[in-house]
Every structure is written in structure tokens, then in C-alpha cells.
């Protein structure tokens, strides 16, 4: 792709891939009507949750499956979608209360690597060297996500 000044833009850039996918998802969200049964506060909370999920999904898709953290995010999102579709199918049956898994680390000394493993998606199964590499990549992708979202917010707030 060439601009009017003759500068070539790399359309495969992670930022462009993220921005395109994120905006497409936001436009799809805009077309869906808000539920009238929800209170205004619950509607805002649900919408912000959907925007957050869209941002993580777009970021993970832009990176692709070559990174462990993006595979973990995509797996979590697919699992969430499967779980929600199962709930919709069983909407007329009574649901048993599920015991929420507690991921808290038992009291005692916690290494910094273990703290980092909790923060990076898919980090629980990594050795320290891989964990640090994935963390650096994850941070750069989060920074890209913030820049793109800030640009979108700036453009549409005018």
C-alpha cells in the first residue's frame, strides 16, 4: 500500500491488523441493540466487558498462534464462547452452582517469576527464560493496544 507521498505502509503490521479487527468488532457491537431489561449501569458494565474482550481478541488474532500468550487468550475466549452457548441451550433447566476455582497461591514465599506467571496468559506452564520473552512481547502488544484504542477514542471524540 502506497500513500500519496510515496511512503510504503506495511499492511501486515501488528498495529494495523489489531486496529482493523478491533474496529470491525466495535461496529458489529454497535449494530446490536442493548437489552431493555438491563439497568443503565448493568448495560454500561456489559458493554465495557464486551469492548475489553474485543480488544484482547483482536490483539491475540493480530499476533497469531505463534506466541504462547496469544494462544492462551484465544483458547480462553473460545472456551468462554462454548460455555456461553451451552448455557443458552440449557436456559430452561436449573443450573447447578459451580464451584469457582480459586487460583490464589497458598500463603508463604512467592517468587517474582510466579507472580509474573499469574499475569501473562499461558505463563503458568513456562520456564523462566520463555516467560520473560513472552512477557516482553505481551507488554509490547499491550502498549500497541493502548495506542490504537487512544487513537480511536481521540478520532471519535471530536
* In-domain check, residue 108: no
**CA-to-CA separations, 104 to 17, 27, 123, 125, in angstroms, rounded:** 35, 37, 15, 16
* In-domain check, residue 63: yes
* In-domain check, residue 104: no
Is 152 a residue whose pLDDT tops 70?
yes
Owning domain of residue 82: 14-31+45-91+113-152
Is 16 a residue whose pLDDT tops 50?
yes
Is 133 a residue whose pLDDT tops 50?
yes
Is 97 a residue whose pLDDT tops 50?
no
In whole angstroms, give the CA distance from residue 152 to residue 24: 12
Are 46 and 87 in contact by the 8 Å Cβ rule? The answer is: no
For the ranges 28-37, 52-61, 127-136, 137-146, the lowest mean pLDDT is seen at 28-37
Number of domains in the chain: 1
**Residue 13 vs residue 144, higher pLDDT:** 144
Residues belonging to the chain: 158
Is 4 a residue whose pLDDT tops 60?
no
* DSSP secondary structure letter of residue 2: B
**pLDDT band at 34; cut points 50, 70, 90:** low
In whole angstroms, give the CA distance from residue 53 to residue 3: 32
Q: What is the pTM of this model?
A: 0.66
* In-domain check, residue 1: no
Is 28 a residue whose pLDDT tops 90?
no
* In-domain check, residue 62: yes
Are 152 and 23 in contact by the 8 Å Cβ rule? The answer is: yes
* In-domain check, residue 71: yes
Angle at alpha carbon of residue 90, lines to 84 and 92, rounded to 5° = 130
What is the structure's pLDDT at 68? 92
Mean pLDDT of the chain: 78
What is the structure's pLDDT at 40? 81
* In-domain check, residue 97: no
Is 18 a residue whose pLDDT tops 80?
yes
Is 72 a residue whose pLDDT tops 80?
yes
For the ranges 9-18, 109-118, 135-144, the lowest mean pLDDT is seen at 9-18
* In-domain check, residue 131: yes
Amino acid at each position: 500500500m502506497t500513500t500519496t507521498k510515496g511512503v510504503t505502509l506495511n499492511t501486515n503490521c501488528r498495529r494495523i491488523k489489531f486496529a482493523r479487527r478491533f474496529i470491525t468488532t466495535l461496529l458489529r457491537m454497535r449494530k446490536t441493540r442493548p437489552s431493555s431489561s438491563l439497568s443503565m449501569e448493568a448495560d454500561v458494565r456489559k458493554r465495557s466487558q464486551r469492548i475489553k474482550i474485543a480488544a484482547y481478541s483482536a490483539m491475540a488474532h493480530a499476533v497469531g498462534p505463534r506466541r504462547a500468550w496469544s494462544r492462551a487468550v484465544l483458547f480462553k475466549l473460545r472456551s468462554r464462547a462454548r460455555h456461553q452457548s451451552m448455557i443458552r441451550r440449557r436456559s430452561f433447566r436449573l443450573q447447578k452452582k459451580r464451584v469457582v476455582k480459586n487460583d490464589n497461591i497458598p500463603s508463604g514465599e512467592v517468587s517474582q517469576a510466579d507472580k509474573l506467571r499469574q499475569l501473562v496468559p499461558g505463563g503458568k506452564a513456562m520456564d523462566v527464560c520463555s516467560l520473560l520473552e513472552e512477557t516482553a512481547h505481551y507488554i509490547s502488544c499491550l502498549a500497541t493496544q493502548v495506542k490504537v484504542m487512544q487513537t480511536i477514542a481521540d478520532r471519535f471524540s471530536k
